[in-house]
A and B are shown apart, each in its own frame.
Chain A
Amino acid sequence: MNIYLHELKQQRKATLIWILSLSILIILLMMMYPTIQQDAESFLKLLENYPEELRLALGMHIESITSVLGFSAFVFSFTMLITTIQAMIMGMSIISKEERDKTADFLLTKPLSRTAIIINKIIASLTIFTITNISIYLVSLISITMFSNTTFDLMFFTEIFIGLLLTQILFFILGLFVSIIMKKVKSPLGVSLGIVFLLYTLSTILVKDTDDIMRYLTLYKYFEPNFIFMNKSLEAPFIILGLILVILLLTFSLIIYNKKDITS
């Protein structure tokens, strides 16, 4: 419990900054919606001039972008890129920072197991992600209601956010695993950004449709907002697959970390 609270306190400022910048991004993008809605035809024509790859990379789907939920899906697939960066950095640094800042000598000589330390830190991180997601969920709801006059399905909107949270957890655990198998993580930010952008680019190049086989390989498309929009809900197979991945990566992380030498 004390590690959990300590971790929340340590991350307080960073989390506030993440929430603030995400909120600003969402509000700014949502402000564009009234114009797009009014001028839907010319906007679509403009979009058609762009190569399909670019549109997909930006998460713009011609069929849906002018509807309020379609546009939201575009906004949130963009948001997802950023929340996964937050998750990945957190995963990469939550354990490794103790070694980098040499506070491991303090924490690991306390009477508790390494497993307990990791679990406490994971729960703290999940709390932070939940707070982040609920905050931007509310900001999004408010800005959609402000900038569009049409009604929309709240349930489906909520599912997009559950998808965002699940994707964050996937990237967090991936980051944790990578940081533990690496001998020393000198720059969690650099490694995180590298992995995130690589996976993001691969996902936009390789995955074009909801039933694309490559979808299984790129974490980004498991709970992609546009796909949720097309399927009208989260997809069970990907929830199960995600869960299996999380359990596997977590188990390996725990086994490896419990054997790891903490050198000064």
Chain B
Amino acid sequence: MNVIEINNLTKYYGKSRGIIDVSFNVEAGEIFGFIGPNGAGKSTTIRTLLGLIKPTSGTAFIFGKNCFTDGKEILKDVGYLPSEVFYYDGMKVIDLLKYSASFYKKDCTKRIYELAEIMDLDLNKKIEELSFGNKKKVGIVQGLLHEPKLIILDEPTSGLDPLMQQKFFELIKQENQKGVTVLLSSHILSEVQKLCNRVAIIKEGRIVKIETIENLRGENYKRIIIETDIDLSLDYFNIDGVNDFTINNHTYSFLYKGDINIIIKKLAMLNIKNITIHEPDLEEIFMHYYEKGEDA
């Protein structure tokens, strides 16, 4: 079952691009990563799902309900953590959380205290006295206190120290084990890599790839680095599957995707001083998608 279904979602702000033809589904119980650099359209997509922004065209469904007409119903079971959190000045943390809880027809008091305990949040401070990181913690508690079935996180870890990030990820994993679906947008690959089952990569408003983390990493990309004594002809590695080719003195480095035998035979013909072959981390693959240009 799909918790989120997005079909050809397009948003223009006047003439400037927001997102173009974005389509993807998030299945029940998965942690779905949504990744791309700033300005690629991650927040626009998320805000459209939440009904904050009206799309130019396309459709979006959450829990099978229309995001643009049934927002009230959908939002009962959605927890949202915006990338920057802003709350009413002059309120204490606990008052803000109680105000937030008052919009849901259930008693959230116990959960508020539990979450505050986990995130190490002082409930009696005034919100304007909090640091950026602590405000973010308020946002996390605020987004989770009503035990939502879908959690939408927009750049969740910015401002949190590493220890808190760790606690936060554990919290999200726990929720996920209870059956909660998570959509997590980020430009930090390592956090997506740690948490997510699948990712959608967005670039300049368009989805360029939707893939499981395993496949993305294990798509048989190899990073091959060799050292030689002599100069090689530049064409030597000009074969299918070689990407991201760099030369530094006599060190040649490239990403290879394809039949391993072909490249091994190629390499065997050379007189090699040193060789390393390793699996690239997601960062490298990601950069590769971005550098490929328009046709990626």
Contacts and interface: CB of A to CB of B under 8 A. Distances in A.
A113 interface: yes
A211 interface: no
A112 B87 contact: no
A106 B84 CA distance: 11
A105 B86 contact: yes
B100 interface: yes
B17 interface: no
Interface string B28-43: 0000000000000001
Contact of B82 (A10, A113, A261, A264): A264
Nearest to B78: A109
Contacts of B99: 2, 6
A106 B100 contact: yes
B101 to A, nearest CB: 9
Contacts of B73: 111
A106 B102 CA distance: 13
A111 B43 contact: no
| Candidate in B74, B88, B142 with the most chain A CB atoms within 10 angstroms | B88
Interface string B172-198: 000000000000000000000000000
A2 B103 contact: yes
Interface in A212-264: 259-264
Contacts of B53: 261-263
A111 B72 contact: yes
Nearest to B86: A102
B91 to A, nearest CB: 9
Nearest to B53: A261
Contact of B88 (A103, A105, A259, A261): A103
B65 to A, nearest CB: 12
A6 B100 CA distance: 11
Contact of A104 (B52, B78, B83, B104): B52
B86 A106 contact: yes
Contacts of A105: 52, 80, 82, 85-86
B13 A261 contact: yes
A108 interface: yes
A113 B103 CA distance: 12
| Candidate in B51, B75, B86 with the most chain A CB atoms within 10 angstroms | B86
B76 interface: yes
Contact of B80 (A6, A101, A109, A261): A109
Contact of A2 (B50, B54, B102): B102
A110 interface: yes
Interface string A91-123: 000000000011111101111110000000000
Given A109-B52, A112-B72, A262 B47 contact: yes
Interface residues of B, number: 31
Nearest to A263: B53
Interface majority SS (helix, strand, loop, mixed), chain B: loop
Interface residues of A, number: 21
A6 B54 CA distance: 27
Contacts of A264: 43, 47, 82-84
B280 interface: no
A233 to B, nearest CB: 43
A166 to B, nearest CB: 31
A262 B52 contact: yes
Contacts of B47: 262-264
Contact of B71 (A6, A113, A263): A113
A111 B76 contact: yes
B98 to A, nearest CB: 9
Contacts of A111: 71-76, 103-104
A238 to B, nearest CB: 38
Given A106-B87, A106-B142, A264-B82, A113 B72 contact: yes
Given A6-B99, A106-B87, A261 B54 contact: yes
A261 to B, nearest CB: 5
A2 B103 CA distance: 8
Contacts of B76: 111
A263 B54 CA distance: 10
Contacts of B13: 261, 263
Contacts of B104: 111
Nearest to A105: B82
Given A6-B88, A264-B83, 4 more contacts: A105-B86, A112-B75, A263-B13, A263-B52
- Closest 9 A/B residue pairs (Cβ): A102-B86, A110-B103, A111-B75, A2-B102, A111-B76, A262-B52, A105-B82, A261-B53, A109-B80
